[in-house]
Amino acid sequence: MIGVIGGSGLYKFIENAIVKKIDTPFGEVNVDIGKINGEEVVFIPRHGNRHSIPPSQINYRANIYAAHTLGVKKIYATNAVGSLNYDNKPGTLAVPDQIFDYTSCRKDTFFDGSDFKVVTNKGEELSGVVHTDMSTPFDTDIRNEIIDVCREFGENVVDGGTIVVVNGPRYETPAEIEAFKRLGCSYAGMTSSPEAFLAKELQIPYATIAVITNFAAGMQSNVSHSEVEILFKQKIDMIFKILNKLIKNSI
């Protein structure tokens, strides 16, 4: 199976999907399952299908574990992000390669010393406290796949950059954005952590297509969620095309 996790603006992906409830050690997850280009696909709208779940309340562990349970072999995610660089304008796509985690109080690991045990996608049995290498939080092969398809469709795509992840649902202050700039961050979002880290722990290749929807606080007069969703809607057809092509190439 291929996994797709939709962020702000992407709440439905598979036509005539079957909604399936998956029980996990971390809670229940409703997922959409169907076929695209002959390939079975699992779709998870991380905010719910009506954007009812704020970033800090998403059950990231249940979502990723559900994907693992279903045998997902790779995950393509989408994010709406703010740009910290005037050269990367709203409407541009980006494929980050690093994460700066500025969140707090999120359950960000499967391996917290509990009695949880799992056999990962690579057949490795893990339990207890596991120290996972995060040198490449986003899978390099999937990142390259995404970049190639974006360019194939003539999209302006930024290769790489660090996404700083904040708790939300509030947007960042100008002072925070200035600090993040000085730390070398390129984009601001609310959900890549711990999602990417958890996928890495279970050895599920994962990367994201980030849609730059706005300049971050202090770089424009104000930031609103309606602005973010309006811009994402302008790119939604292209996001569908990119995801469909990625899935077709994976067959």
Does residue 225 carry a pLDDT above 90?
no
Does residue 69 carry a pLDDT above 80?
yes
Q: What does the pLDDT read at residue 229?
A: 86
**Which tens digit of pLDDT belongs to each residue from 80-113?**
999 999 999 999 999 999 999 999 999 999 999 9
Verify cis geometry, omega within 30 degrees of 0, for the bond prior to 169.
Answer: yes
Between strands 27-36 and 112-119, the pairing is unpaired
**Which tens digit of pLDDT belongs to each residue from 129-167?**
999 999 999 999 999 999 999 999 999 999 999 999 999
Q: Which CATH number fits domain 2-250: 3.40.50.1580, 3.40.50.2300, 1.50.10.10, 3.40.50.1820?
A: 3.40.50.1580
Q: Which long-range contacts (CB under 8 A, 24 or more apart) does 150-157 make?
A: 150/93, 150/95, 150/209, 150/242, 152/245, 153/238, 153/241, 153/242, 153/245, 155/93, 155/238, 155/242, 156/91, 156/92, 156/93, 157/92, 157/93, 157/94, 157/95
Task: With H, G, I as helix, E, B as strand and everything else as coil, classify residue 239.
Answer: helix
Q: What does the pLDDT read at residue 10?
A: 86
Q: What does the pLDDT read at residue 51?
A: 84
Q: How many residues does the chain have?
A: 251
Q: What does the pLDDT read at residue 8?
A: 82
Q: What does the pLDDT read at residue 38?
A: 86
Least confident piece of the model among 10-14, 76-80, 179-183: 10-14
Nearest alpha-carbon partner for 225 in 9, 58, 57, 50: 9
Q: What does the pLDDT read at residue 19?
A: 94
State the Cα–Cα distance between residues 2 and 99, nearest whole angstrom: 23
Does residue 37 carry a pLDDT above 80?
yes
Q: What does the pLDDT read at residue 9?
A: 82
Q: What does the pLDDT read at residue 48?
A: 87
Verify cis geometry, omega within 30 degrees of 0, for the bond prior to 194.
Answer: yes
